[in-house]
Amino acid sequence: MSMRKNKGVNANMNFLFGGVLLFFVLVLIVGLFSFFTLQQFWHSDESVKVAEVTKRYDYSVAFDSSFKGKSYKLYLNDSLVYVGTPVDVDTVIKLRRVAVDNSLLVVDGVTDAIAAIVELGVSGAVNLKCEQGAVAFSIKE
Protein backbone atom coordinates (compact mmCIF):
# COMPACT_ATOMS: atom_id res chain seq x y z
CA MET A 1 0.00 0.00 0.00
CA SER A 2 2.76 2.41 0.85
CA MET A 3 4.46 1.60 -2.43
CA ARG A 4 1.46 2.81 -4.45
CA LYS A 5 1.32 6.01 -2.45
CA ASN A 6 4.97 6.69 -3.23
CA LYS A 7 4.41 6.14 -6.95
CA GLY A 8 1.56 8.64 -7.00
CA VAL A 9 3.55 11.22 -5.06
CA ASN A 10 6.54 10.74 -7.35
CA ALA A 11 4.37 11.09 -10.43
CA ASN A 12 2.83 14.28 -9.09
CA MET A 13 6.25 15.71 -8.22
CA ASN A 14 7.60 14.87 -11.68
CA PHE A 15 4.58 16.54 -13.28
CA LEU A 16 5.05 19.62 -11.06
CA PHE A 17 8.75 19.97 -11.89
CA GLY A 18 8.05 19.44 -15.60
CA GLY A 19 5.40 22.17 -15.56
CA VAL A 20 7.70 24.61 -13.74
CA LEU A 21 10.54 23.84 -16.14
CA LEU A 22 8.25 24.39 -19.14
CA PHE A 23 7.10 27.72 -17.67
CA PHE A 24 10.68 28.98 -17.25
CA VAL A 25 11.63 27.88 -20.76
CA LEU A 26 8.62 29.75 -22.20
CA VAL A 27 9.45 32.89 -20.20
CA LEU A 28 13.06 32.72 -21.43
CA ILE A 29 11.96 32.35 -25.08
CA VAL A 30 9.47 35.24 -24.85
CA GLY A 31 12.09 37.42 -23.12
CA LEU A 32 14.73 36.71 -25.77
CA PHE A 33 12.26 37.34 -28.59
CA SER A 34 11.22 40.67 -27.04
CA PHE A 35 14.84 41.72 -26.44
CA PHE A 36 15.97 41.00 -29.99
CA THR A 37 12.89 42.66 -31.49
CA LEU A 38 13.37 45.84 -29.45
CA GLN A 39 17.11 45.87 -30.12
CA GLN A 40 16.43 45.68 -33.86
CA PHE A 41 13.93 48.57 -33.55
CA TRP A 42 16.32 50.74 -31.51
CA HIS A 43 19.08 50.41 -34.10
CA SER A 44 16.87 51.00 -37.14
CA ASP A 45 15.79 54.18 -38.90
CA GLU A 46 12.19 53.69 -37.72
CA SER A 47 13.05 54.86 -34.20
CA VAL A 48 14.41 58.12 -35.65
CA LYS A 49 11.29 58.54 -37.78
CA VAL A 50 9.03 57.99 -34.78
CA ALA A 51 10.97 60.58 -32.76
CA GLU A 52 10.71 63.13 -35.59
CA VAL A 53 6.97 62.62 -36.02
CA THR A 54 6.08 63.14 -32.35
CA LYS A 55 6.27 66.92 -32.33
CA ARG A 56 3.97 68.63 -29.89
CA TYR A 57 1.72 71.50 -30.87
CA ASP A 58 0.88 73.88 -28.01
CA TYR A 59 -2.22 76.04 -27.99
CA SER A 60 -3.84 78.32 -25.47
CA VAL A 61 -7.46 79.36 -25.73
CA ALA A 62 -8.54 82.50 -23.85
CA PHE A 63 -12.11 83.65 -23.31
CA ASP A 64 -13.04 87.33 -23.36
CA SER A 65 -15.20 88.91 -20.65
CA SER A 66 -18.16 88.81 -23.07
CA PHE A 67 -18.48 85.05 -22.43
CA LYS A 68 -19.39 85.53 -18.78
CA GLY A 69 -22.69 83.78 -18.05
CA LYS A 70 -22.85 81.93 -21.38
CA SER A 71 -22.33 78.20 -21.71
CA TYR A 72 -19.96 76.87 -24.39
CA LYS A 73 -18.21 73.66 -25.35
CA LEU A 74 -14.78 73.45 -26.99
CA TYR A 75 -13.67 70.55 -29.14
CA LEU A 76 -10.12 70.11 -30.41
CA ASN A 77 -10.34 67.77 -33.41
CA ASP A 78 -12.50 64.98 -31.96
CA SER A 79 -11.81 65.59 -28.26
CA LEU A 80 -14.08 67.47 -25.90
CA VAL A 81 -11.79 69.90 -24.09
CA TYR A 82 -14.04 72.27 -22.17
CA VAL A 83 -17.68 72.41 -21.06
CA GLY A 84 -19.28 75.20 -19.06
CA THR A 85 -19.31 78.93 -18.56
CA PRO A 86 -16.03 80.80 -18.20
CA VAL A 87 -15.89 81.91 -14.57
CA ASP A 88 -13.07 84.44 -14.79
CA VAL A 89 -12.25 87.09 -17.31
CA ASP A 90 -8.89 85.38 -17.74
CA THR A 91 -10.07 81.82 -18.30
CA VAL A 92 -7.28 80.24 -20.32
CA ILE A 93 -7.19 76.64 -21.48
CA LYS A 94 -3.80 75.19 -22.41
CA LEU A 95 -3.79 72.37 -24.97
CA ARG A 96 -1.09 70.09 -26.33
CA ARG A 97 -1.56 67.84 -29.35
CA VAL A 98 0.51 65.53 -31.54
CA ALA A 99 -1.68 65.76 -34.66
CA VAL A 100 -0.44 68.00 -37.46
CA ASP A 101 -3.75 69.50 -38.65
CA ASN A 102 -5.80 70.77 -35.71
CA SER A 103 -9.06 72.66 -35.61
CA LEU A 104 -10.96 74.12 -32.70
CA LEU A 105 -14.73 73.82 -32.70
CA VAL A 106 -16.75 76.21 -30.50
CA VAL A 107 -20.27 74.93 -29.78
CA ASP A 108 -23.06 76.82 -28.01
CA GLY A 109 -23.83 74.95 -24.79
CA VAL A 110 -27.56 75.71 -24.80
CA THR A 111 -28.55 75.03 -28.41
CA ASP A 112 -25.63 72.75 -29.44
CA ALA A 113 -25.18 74.86 -32.56
CA ILE A 114 -21.71 75.37 -33.99
CA ALA A 115 -20.62 78.90 -33.11
CA ALA A 116 -17.17 78.93 -34.74
CA ILE A 117 -14.61 76.68 -36.42
CA VAL A 118 -11.02 77.80 -35.97
CA GLU A 119 -8.28 76.25 -38.12
CA LEU A 120 -5.13 76.18 -36.00
CA GLY A 121 -1.56 76.46 -37.21
CA VAL A 122 1.53 74.94 -35.70
CA SER A 123 1.21 76.59 -32.29
CA GLY A 124 -0.35 79.73 -30.97
CA ALA A 125 -2.86 81.54 -28.84
CA VAL A 126 -6.55 81.86 -29.69
CA ASN A 127 -8.62 84.70 -28.23
CA LEU A 128 -12.38 84.15 -28.35
CA LYS A 129 -14.88 87.03 -28.20
CA CYS A 130 -18.66 87.00 -28.21
CA GLU A 131 -19.97 89.83 -30.38
CA GLN A 132 -23.74 90.19 -30.86
CA GLY A 133 -24.40 86.49 -30.29
CA ALA A 134 -21.66 85.36 -32.69
CA VAL A 135 -18.24 84.09 -31.72
CA ALA A 136 -15.26 85.95 -33.16
CA PHE A 137 -11.68 84.81 -32.79
CA SER A 138 -8.16 86.03 -33.31
CA ILE A 139 -5.08 83.85 -33.56
CA LYS A 140 -1.52 84.81 -32.58
CA GLU A 141 1.13 82.35 -33.64
pLDDT tens-digit map of 99-121: 777 888 888 888 888 888 888 87
Contact indicator for 94, 113 with CB cutoff of 8 Å:
no
Other CB atoms within 10 Å distance of the CB of residue 70:
16
Long-range contacts made by residues 82-89, C-beta under 8 angstroms, separation at least 24? Answer: 83/109, 84/109, 85/109, 89/63, 89/64, 89/65
Fold of 56-140: Immunoglobulin-like (2.60.40)
Strands annotated E in 64-98: 72-76, 79-84, 92-97
Domain boundaries, the chain: 2-51, 56-140
Q: What is the pLDDT of residues 27-46, one digit of tens each?
A: 999 999 999 888 877 776 66
pTM of the shown model: 0.57
